[in-house]
Structures are given as C-alpha cells and as structure tokens.
Amino acid sequence: MEENIIEENEFKTNYTDDSIRHLSDMEHVRTRPGMYIGRLGDGSHPEDGIYVLLKEVIDNSIDEFRMGFGKRLEIDLEDNLRVSVRDYGRGIPQGALVEAVSLLNTGAKYDNAVFKKSVGLNGVGAKAVNALSSFFEVRSYRDGKVRIITFAKGLLLSDETKDTDEEDGTYMFFEPDNTLFVNYSFQSEFIETKLRNYTYLNTGLSIIFNGQRIISRNGLEDLLNDNMTSPGLYPIIHFKSDDIEIAFTHTNQYGEEYYSFVNGQNTTQGGTHLSAFKEHVAHTIKDFYNKNFEFNDIRNGLVGAIAINVEDPIFESQTKIKLGSNTISLKKDAVSVNKFVGNFIEEQLDNFLHKNSDIAEVMLQKVQESEKERKAIAGVTKLARERAKKANLHNRKLRDCRIHLNDSKGDRQEESCIFITEGDSASGSITKSRDVNTQAVFSLRGKPLNSFGLTKKVVYENEEFNLLQAALNIEDGIEALRYNKVIVATDADVDGMHIRLLMITFFLQFFPDLIKKGHVYILQTPLFRVRNKKETRYCYSEEERVNAIRALKPSPEITRFKGLGEISPEEFVHFIGKDIRLDQVKLRKTDAVKDLLAFYMGKNTMERQNFIIDNLVIEEDRPENLISDIA
C-alpha cells in the first residue's frame, strides 16, 4: 500500500509543464500512424499500411480523372520496395506544393467545385505518405514548369523549379520507412488487384503497371467475370446510372459474395450501401415472384457488386473501408442511403425480370432449390444449433480470446485469430503459449470428415463442423466472423497435410468467401531445431537445416519435431508471436477449384494412385540424406 502511494505521488510530481508536448504534423503522423493508415504490417496482407500509402497517392490521380483530367496513369514498382505514380491531370498548384504534401488539413478536396465526389476528403493522404516514407519526392508539371521537392521522414530536403516540356500532371515517388514497416515487401499481386478495381470503377481510365496495361470497358460486370470462381447460372445482370452501378448473378456455390465501393474506394467491410443492396435485391426478387421466400434463400449463391458516387461520404475510419453514412448528398439534396439504393434497384430489377423471362425462370429455380435444401435440413439445423449452444465451447473445444473482429470498440480487432488444431497435446501447447487477448484455439477430435460432394446438411450433422461454424459465427455469412485470421495449425507430416486439405475442402465447399476475402491461413512451424551451447536456430525447411548446421559447427544438436505437441510452450511462443509464419490460402478464378477438388478429394482412386506413384520422392534422394552437402 505504501509503495503504491509513493508511485502515485512520484507520478504526480513528474507531471509538469515539461510533460506537455506539441508535435508537428509530420511528427504526429509518425508517432500515431494507426490514426492515419490503420495498421503497419510488412506487406504480406492486402490491407497492410504500405498499400494504404499507395492508395492515398493513387486516389489523388483518380480524383483528377473523375474531374475529366488525365486518362492515363503510370505506376512502377522497383525491387518490391519503392513505388512511383505519374498522372496526367492538372498538376498540384506549384505555389502551394509543399503545403499540399506536408501540412495536415490542407488540400483542394474541401471545395466541391474543384473536386466532386472524391475519395480524398480530409487533407491527410499524401501527408501520411510523406511522413511515413524514408524518401518521398513530388513533382508538379504545369504550364512548361516543373517544381520538384523531396523529403525524408516528413522533413524537407530539397526544392527546385525548372523548365520542362513534359505534359502537365503530378509525379510522386515514395519508399516506406523500414523502421516502421519492418521487413516490408510490396506484393505485385495485391497491387494489381487494387489497380483493376480502379479501372472497373473508372471506365476509360488506362493504368500502366510495370509496363502492363490494365483497362475495363464494362465496369462491375468485368469485375464479377474476373473474380467469380464458380460459373454464373445466368448472364450477369448489370445496371448503371450517373451515381450508382450494380451487377450480380447467382452461382451454385454456398453463401454470398460481395464487392462494394464508394467514390472508387473499395469498402472491404461494406457499410450502409452494401446493406441496402442486399436488402433490396432480395426484396425486389421476392415481390416479383409474389412468393413468401426467405431472404437467405434468395441470396444463397449470389455474387454481387455495388458502387456509388456521392458528395461528402462519411467513413468509419481514415482507411475508408466501411461506409457509415445513413444519408448522402446528391445534387445538393440529402437522401437516405437505403432509399437511394432501394429505389434504383427496385425500378431497374423489376423491369428487367419482366422483360427477361428466361433469366427470371433460372433465378426462380435457384431460389427454390435453396429453399428446398434449407427445409430438408431444418430439423437437423435446429438440433445442431441447440447442441452448439449447450456444448461447452469455452472449455475444451474452444479456448476463446478476449478481442474479436466484430467488436465495436478497441483497436486490435484485426489481430484476432483462431488456431484450428488436432489433438489435446497440440492445442495444449498453443493454448499455453498464446496471447489470450487476440488468439483463440479450436481443438479438432481426430481427422475431420472429407466433405467433398456433400450438401450443407453435413455442416449440421457433423459435430466438429457444426461446433466450428458456431465458434467462427459464420452460419449466416462471414459478416459476423469473430476472428480476422482462421489459421489451420497441424503437424508437419503426412497426417498434418491431410488435415489441412480436409479443412480447406470444407471451407471451399461451404464458405468460399472466407478464403476469397483472405481470412484463411496455414501456420508454418519448424521442422528442426539446431543448437549448440551459444545459439539455437529453428528451421522450417531442409535448406534452412543445412545452413544452420554449417553455421553452428562443430557438431550441433539436431532435433526433428514430429508434431506440434512435442514443442514446449516456452518454445512455441516464438512461432505464434511477432515472428509467426503464415501462408495465406488464396482462391482465384484460374484455380479450377471444382476440378482440383474432384481429383484430390473425390473418388477417382486409381487415377490419384497413379499420380502419387509417378511423383514419388525416393528416400535416398531427399536433401537430409545428402551428407556431402554438409561436409
């Protein structure tokens, strides 16, 4: 008690005028980067901060295009570490160039006469890029003059103006600060996806990325065609007006899949416009058929996209990934988002279905099939829900964490993850090593069922799948998903690989959007521990083992980990902490998922056996047996 009083008094004593600090704009961004870009990261996830920096630069060029200036955008990535963006718009006014990229709350986006329905609203974007980059260069080309300024971590290095014969526009080059984005690397695949989204939403815009031309002529229809991994049951329904565009079709996949945008910004977490889209598509279809369909049956298998353009949208954070506006401005009039989207969909879709009876018939069959399947498993579903509620999920099956993705408060939601592992020993090691705030553990009992070719009834009949679905909270779609990362953690052996395949098959069959939205990962754990009295190295491959043995001569101790349960909690903490190695499970249109699952998980036993025989690795050819490599 006395010690606490002393500490409290000491704290009060030290709280003086000198404790009050004023940070410059650039210092504030560097001190609190999360306020401006959401997260840091190393570039291994598409929402990591380095991509937010790139987006902030590109958004300015897109706003120029939307105002009718510059139809070409050139983007170059160098060594996966630095990026340049050149547009051919009006160019930033040269007299205010330094202020435009270094003073917060400074910009032209507050003037709707200059920029209407723009993405950049708060005068923050380019300043954040400047502050968080080890080197930042801006060139403004206007009327035969170019002003060039450079910065390092937000501090001005140089400023010059000279004559030029280049076209008007703006050039920005930046290299993120690797003391903030530790060991970062840009992934070209993530950048290309973002650039394609820009072209879908800005038909007529040509983006040249490392010499490759990206363009879209059909907007959101192109987006769906390029991203659907299951064929549409009917041609994509596509409507567009000045301020709203929608596209959708049904597929035979389970669940729903959506893409949403506001003023060209990919709202990956949706918002009021996406909620309105889902509601009114289902409502209009229900009214057209004049049947008492449930909305979930209507939307099962639906793949859709919506983009709206509005003045002064309100997002839920600086990263602008979720629209929070309940009302929007259109031609100086305020209207509710729900009414704006609903009126457009109801008029366009109702007219379309009356004029296209063949498509309406296919759609009706799909809805009726979904309804029939739901009713067929209704009894099983009810019992499964009750079983999931009664099951002691928070004791042995699920060891939950405190922070979840769908929490409304806090700032660590995106760190939330769940490890899906097999057996008590493995789950026990992870449980004792985990961060109880953000890391949950779900323990499988033996190998899960091969769900290929089965209907969703198995999700409720199989206790493991039913309880996992309940733990993830994805029965009605992934919008209420409780964890940002779903991590399959299995032993690094044949049985472990089999469990991985069975789990991925389950997700592909019934929750493909979980994979397409980037939530599913594979945990990489070390195969070997190589150590001597001074140093310990954990090796994730044969090559790393060989290199470790060479480095730790003479005669280091080598341990082969046969299972997760063999790794002590004291060691395991290294593998699920800040140095965690994860492989993201990705799903693309070109993956031919149906054929892959049929071959690897189907019943073509002899064909698969012949494939295995033809691709066997002979034991004596394995790297660990090549002693000469180590000698």
Instruction: Give the residues across from 536 on adjacent strands.
Output: 531
144 occurs within a structural domain: yes
Residue 601 lies in a domain: no
Q: Which of 134, 123, 155, 125 is nearest to 37 (CA)?
A: 125
Amino acid 623: pLDDT: 45
Q: What is the pLDDT of residue 589?
A: 74
Give first-to-last CA distance, the chain, whole Å: 63
Highest-pLDDT range among 200-214, 381-395, 465-479, 537-551: 200-214
Q: Nearest-CA neighbor of 80 among 150, 9, 178, 13? A: 178
Here the CATH number for the domain that contains residue 342 is 3.30.230.10
333 or 225, which is more confident: 225
Residue 366 domain-assigned? yes
**Phi then psi for 80, rounded to 5 degrees?**
60, 20
- Over residues 194-218, mean pLDDT: 94
Say whether both 189 and 207 belong to one domain: yes
Instruction: Give strand pairing partners of 271.
Output: 323
A 10 A CB-CB count for 173 gives 19
Do 484 and 401 contact (CB within 8 A), yes or no? no
What DSSP element (H or E) covers 550?
Answer: helix 542-551
Q: How far apart are CA 194 and CA 187, in angstroms?
A: 11
pTM over 0.85: no
- From 149, 182, 214, give the residue that closes a domain: 214
Helices (DSSP H) in 475-618: which residue ranges?
494-510, 512-516, 542-551, 569-572, 593-601, 605-614
Q: What is the mean pLDDT of residues 538-563?
A: 88
Three-state secondary structure call for residue 8: helix
- Of 370, 403, 423, which residue sits at a domain end? 370
Q: Judge if 189 and 228 occupy the same domain.
A: no
Which pLDDT score, from 0 to 100, does residue 317 have?
A: 63
228 and 360, same domain (yes or no): yes
If you average pLDDT over each of 328-332, 416-420, 572-576, which comes out highest?
416-420
pLDDT at 117: 53
Do residue 255 and residue 169 come from a single domain? no
- Residues 558 and 576 occupy one common structural domain: no
The number of beta carbons lying within 10 Å of the beta carbon of residue 625 is: 12
430 phi and psi angles, rounded to 5 deg: -70, -40
pLDDT score, position 413: 85
Instruction: Give me the CATH number covering residue 180.
Output: 3.30.565.10
Using one digit for the tens of pLDDT, what is the confidence trace for 54-66? 999 999 899 899 8
Question: Do 192 and 252 fall into the same domain?
Answer: no
Question: 526: how many CB neighbours lie within 10 A of its CB?
Answer: 22
Same domain, residue pair 155 and 116: yes
Residues in CB range of 335: below 8 A, 6 or more apart:
327, 328
**606: in domain:** no
Structural domain tally of the chain? Answer: 4
Kindly indicate the confidence band of residue 330, based on its pLDDT and cuts at 50, 70 and 90. Answer: low
Give the model's confidence band at 197: pLDDT under 50 very low, under 70 low, under 90 confident, else very high: very high
More confident residue, 419 or 21: 419
pLDDT at 304: 96
> Is the pLDDT confidence value at 35 over 50?
yes
In terms of domains, do 365 and 400 share one? no
> 272-289 and 337-355 helices cross at what angle (nearest 10)?
30
pLDDT digits (tens, 9 = 90+) for 389-411: 766 554 568 899 999 988 877 77
pLDDT for the residue 187: 94
pLDDT in tens, 413-423: 888 999 999 87
Q: State yes or no: pLDDT of 158 exceeds 70.
A: yes
In the chain, what percentage of residues exceed pLDDT 70? 87
Task: Note whether residue 604 is domain-resident.
Answer: no
Which percentage of the chain shows pLDDT scores above 90?
A: 48
- Burial pattern 230-261, b for ≥16 Cβ within 10 A else e, equals bebeeebbbbbeebbbbbbbbbebbbbbbbbb
Q: What is the DSSP secondary-structure string of 300-318?
A: TTEEEEEEE--BS--BSST
| Residue 425 pLDDT level (bands cut at 50, 70, 90) | confident
Same domain, 60 and 203: yes
Residues 413 and 347 in one domain: no
In a domain? residue 486: yes
Identify whether residues 391 and 435 lie together within a single domain. yes
> Smallest Cα–Cα separation from 254: which of 517, 511, 459?
511
pLDDT over 50 (residue 123): no
Residue 220 burial (10 A CB sphere; 0-12, 13-18, 19+)? buried
573: left (phi over 0), alpha (psi -120 to 50) or beta: alpha
Task: Kindly state whether residue 184 falls inside one of the protein's structural domains.
Answer: yes
Instruction: Answer yes or no: are the C-beta atoms of 234 and 249 closer than 8 Å.
Output: yes
| DSSP run (H or E) holding 367 | helix 357-376
> Is the pLDDT at 23 greater than 70, yes or no?
no
State how beta strands 439-444 and 417-422 pair.
parallel
Query: What's the pLDDT at 12?
Result: 53
Place of tokens 């034991």: 619
317/466 Cα distance (integer angstroms): 34
Specify whether the CB–CB gap between 404 and 360 falls below 8 A.
Answer: no
**CA angle centred on 328, ends 314 and 256, rounded to 5°:** 75
Mean pLDDT of the chain: 85
Cα gap 40→29, rounded to integer Å: 12
Average pLDDT value for residue range 498-512: 92
Domain membership of residue 106 (yes or no) is yes
**617 or 401: which carries more pLDDT confidence?**
401
pLDDT at residue 9, rounded to an integer: 52
CATH assignment at residue 475: 3.40.50.670
Asked if 38 and 140 count as a contact pair (C-beta separation under 8 A), the reply is: no
| Residue numbers of the domain that contains 551 | 528-562
Length of the chain: 631
Residue 3 has pLDDT above 50, yes or no: no
Radius of gyration in angstroms for the set of CA atoms belonging to the chain, rounded to a whole number: 27
- Does residue 327 sit in the same domain as residue 456? no
Query: pLDDT tens digit string along 57-103?
Result: 999 899 899 888 999 999 999 999 999 999 999 999 999 899 889 88
**Residue that finishes a domain, picked among 214, 237, 254:** 214
